[in-house]
Amino acid sequence: MSCATRRSVLKMAGMSAAVLSGAAEFLPAAQLPGQSRPETAGPEEKTGANVMAIAAHAGDAFFAMGAPVAVAAHSGGKGSLLSLTLGERGSPTIAPEQYGAMQRKAAQDAAALMGAEALFLQYPDGELPANDEIKLAVCDMIRQYRPLTVVTHWKGSWHKDHRACYDIVQDAIFYAGLSGIVRERPAHEVRTLYFADNWEDASGFVADTYLDITPVFERWMKACSLFPMWRGETGFRYDDYYGSRAVACGCLSHCSKAVCFMSPPDQRVRDMKSV
């Protein structure tokens, strides 16, 4: 299908979508996810994308947000996945302490497989607070790892931890970029924020950006398969859902496999020049 035809299809479907076509174009364009603007980038930011996933639970970080992190790592950049809780209460049959250890091990092994880093704050699953203590803790993580792009939960979720994570990340990014907030490390500006396509956060989610993940799809799937819940063990078939979503998003963005994101309203504003 030609680009013109595809645009027509998207227009007919009422969609206004940007398409990011994977590793080859993920790095060079100035304002694509994780890419620094040359005039303001520090030396460590000129080497490639730096994407951080910030999720309420370890599973969300990898299943719903792991693919763009894998793309960044595959493209020579940096990727990290920060879990605010381990999701230790997610099993109906395994005790939280044991399940939390399994989740932590899975996250560490999965991150290693993707060439990324697993990070944890380890607040209690189901009781994630949205207070300044955790917002500043996430701020400190952002200042330490210096992501240019952050991917997190959309607020339209039935899960209270996911809604809390949305709030935490908004303010953590604000705090991280404000030099007047004095912490151990200097301020760092996150350039781009995306909300992830998550089956639990679907209320009001409207995709506006697609990322080609074809080069990392198999590795990402293999990394996710290290989690004890991936194949429906806790009641939801994550493997079938996220695998088939990648195919569907690929169909919509003219590539084999893709993931989609939703942008905050201010990132959707575009300037048009008159000639």
For residue 77 the two structure tokens come to: 């950049």
- Closer to Zn ion by Cβ: residue 165 or 260: 165
3-state secondary structure of 219: helix
Main-chain dihedrals φ then ψ at residue 194, nearest 5 degrees = -125, 145
- Closer to Zn ion by Cβ: residue 45 or 88: 88
Dist CA 254 CA 251 (whole Å): 5
Q: Nearest distance from residue 198's CB to Zn ion, in Å?
A: 8
Q: Nearest distance from residue 66's CB to Zn ion, in Å?
A: 13
For residue 185 the two structure tokens come to: 């490390």
Dist CA 159 CA 165 (whole Å): 10
Dist CA 209 CA 221 (whole Å): 21
- Closer to Zn ion by Cβ: residue 50 or 91: 91
Q: Nearest distance from residue 56's CB to Zn ion, in Å?
A: 5
CA angle 253, 19, 216 (to 5 degrees): 75
Q: Nearest distance from residue 14's CB to Zn ion, in Å?
A: 29
- Closer to Zn ion by Cβ: residue 68 or 115: 68
- Closer to Zn ion by Cβ: residue 57 or 188: 57
3-state secondary structure of 194: strand
Nearest residue to Zn ion on Cβ basis: 57
| Binding positions for Zn ion, 91-150, rule CB under 5 A | none
Maximum distance among all Cα pairs of the chain, rounded to whole angstroms: 65
- Closer to Zn ion by Cβ: residue 83 or 149: 83
Dist CA 141 CA 138 (whole Å): 5
Q: Nearest distance from residue 104's CB to Zn ion, in Å?
A: 15
Name beta bridge partners: 120: 83
Q: Nearest distance from residue 159's CB to Zn ion, in Å?
A: 6
Dist CA 99 CA 87 (whole Å): 8
Q: Nearest distance from residue 221's CB to Zn ion, in Å?
A: 19
Q: Give, for 149, the enclosing helix (H) or strand (E).
A: strand 149-152
- Closer to Zn ion by Cβ: residue 143 or 162: 162
Contact string (CB under 5 A) for Zn ion, positions 58-97, x = contact? --x-------------------------------------
| Binding positions for Zn ion, 5-64, rule CB under 5 A | 56-57, 60
Main-chain dihedrals φ then ψ at residue 62, nearest 5 degrees = -90, -45
Residue count, binding to Zn ion (CB under 5 A): 3
Indicate the burial class of 64 (C-beta count within 10 angstroms; 0-12, 13-18, 19 or more): buried
Contact string (CB under 5 A) for Zn ion, positions 203-222, x = contact? --------------------
Residues that bind Zn ion (CB under 5 A): 56-57, 60
